[in-house]
């Protein structure tokens, strides 16, 4: 497969969308990025990398971090995790409060904000040094890369404006689905979201989800092939909130988006891909990122379907 040529063709075809959408504005710190950035990295399971554009610039991974938290939470908690969180697509916005109220504090899935807050609570209960161990895990997914760091001003910026997430955390606590101090859970969650990673780093971090033939083993965090399969299934059905069906229809790969404009996706047993462009559509997903991945699976004629 000539991925270099395909990435070039994709870039030419998505250029007309370069002014569509706006970067997220509800986290002030996110407004500091150049809205016209665009980067992509495709990494095969054999380690070959194909890059274009701003593929080495770090950006805020935001909700993509929910996949890393889920991997840790699933490893540490096992099947009992599903007593506190469902595995159904929400069909609602990522920060919806109303669904959580109706469903009595059980988040629909671990990839919406409510679910990720419960996972953060679970990690706080299991780990002695949660922030350090979370960062260590993500660094290990990238071959021990110490350049990957939390962006403290991003995390603080989000806490200062995080009224909806605070409402969600309070609702969860009311329904006894948070055990630790709410403020502690929120701060840990915002730090996870603030992680700065490049497309190249994200593509590397997602290879263990793509490659079931290798054991998923990073210090304390190990997953069976069956558990990795289930995480991929959740990405497929829930990774794009109320646009999960659209992404599945257009792209046909498990993936996860973030309001920083990043999307990471995997083609099982073939490659992982990360794309970044900060301009978002109304559902909070990157306009050019979604279009680029749609063209990738259309041109390669390979997806999970």
Site residues (vs ligand DON, CB under 6 A): 62-63, 94-95, 113, 158, 165, 193, 257-259, 284-285
Output Rg (C-alpha) for the chain, integer angstroms. Answer: 18
Strand order in the sheet with 49-53: 49-53, 39-44, 271-276, 262-267, 255-257
Closer residue to ligand DON in complex, CB, 42/259: 259
* Closest distance to ligand DON from the beta carbon of 218 (Å): 23
Closer residue to ligand DON in complex, CB, 45/185: 185
Closer residue to ligand DON in complex, CB, 234/259: 259
User: What CA–CA distance (Å, rounded) separates 217 from 228?
Assistant: 11
* Closest distance to ligand DON from the beta carbon of 183 (Å): 15
**What residues pair up with 254 in beta bridges, in sequence order?**
none
* Closest distance to ligand DON from the beta carbon of 37 (Å): 17
Closer residue to ligand DON in complex, CB, 51/280: 280
Contacts for 201 with CB less than 8 Å, ≥ 6 apart: 58, 142, 145, 148, 274
Closer residue to ligand DON in complex, CB, 42/111: 111
Contact 106, 82 (CB under 8 A): no
**Contacts within 8 Å (CB) and 24+ apart, 219-225:** 219/136, 219/137, 219/140, 220/75, 220/76, 220/133, 221/71, 221/72, 221/75, 221/76, 221/137, 221/140, 222/75, 223/71, 223/74, 223/75
* Closest distance to ligand DON from the beta carbon of 275 (Å): 14
Residue number with the shortest CB distance to ligand DON?
Answer: 63
* Closest distance to ligand DON from the beta carbon of 158 (Å): 6
Angle at 70 between CA 66 and CA 75, to 5 degrees: 155
Closer residue to ligand DON in complex, CB, 286/303: 286
* Closest distance to ligand DON from the beta carbon of 189 (Å): 7
Closer residue to ligand DON in complex, CB, 161/212: 161
* Closest distance to ligand DON from the beta carbon of 296 (Å): 19
């Amino acid at each position: 497969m000539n991925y270099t040529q395909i990435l070039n063709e994709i870039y030419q075809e998505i250029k007309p969308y370069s002014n569509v959408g706006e970067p997220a504005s509800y986290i002030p710190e996110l407004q500091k990025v150049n809205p016209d950035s665009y980067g992509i990295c495709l990494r095969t399971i054999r380690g070959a990398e194909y890059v274009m554009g701003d593929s080495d610039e770090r950006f805020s991974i935001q909700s993509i971090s929910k996949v890393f938290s889920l991997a840790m939470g699933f490893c540490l908690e096992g099947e009992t995790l599903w007593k506190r969180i469902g595995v159904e697509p929400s069909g609602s916005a990522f920060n919806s409060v109303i669904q959580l109220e109706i469903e009595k504090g059980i988040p629909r899935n671990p990839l919406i904000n409510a679910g990720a807050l419960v996972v953060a609570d679970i990690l706080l209960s299991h780990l002695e040094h949660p922030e350090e161990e979370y960062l260590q895990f993500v660094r290990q997914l990238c071959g021990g890369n110490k350049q990957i760091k939390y962006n403290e001003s991003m995390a603080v910026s989000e806490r200062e404006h995080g009224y909806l997430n605070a409402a969600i955390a309070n609702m969860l606590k009311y329904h006894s689905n948070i055990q630790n101090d709410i403020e502690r859970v929120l701060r840990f969650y915002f730090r996870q979201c603030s992680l700065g990673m490049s497309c190249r780093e994200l593509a590397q971090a997602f290879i263990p989800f793509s490659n079931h033939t290798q054991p998923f083993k990073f210090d304390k965090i190990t997953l069976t092939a069956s558990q990795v399969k289930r995480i991929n299934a959740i990405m497929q059905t829930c990774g794009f909130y109320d646009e999960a069906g659209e992404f599945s229809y257009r792209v046909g790969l498990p993936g996860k988006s973030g309001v920083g404009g990043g999307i990471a996706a995997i083609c099982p047993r073939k490659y992982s891909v990360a794309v970044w462009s900060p301009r978002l559509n109304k559902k909070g997903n990157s306009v050019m990122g979604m279009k680029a991945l749609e063209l990738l699976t259309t041109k390669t004629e390979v997806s999970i379907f």
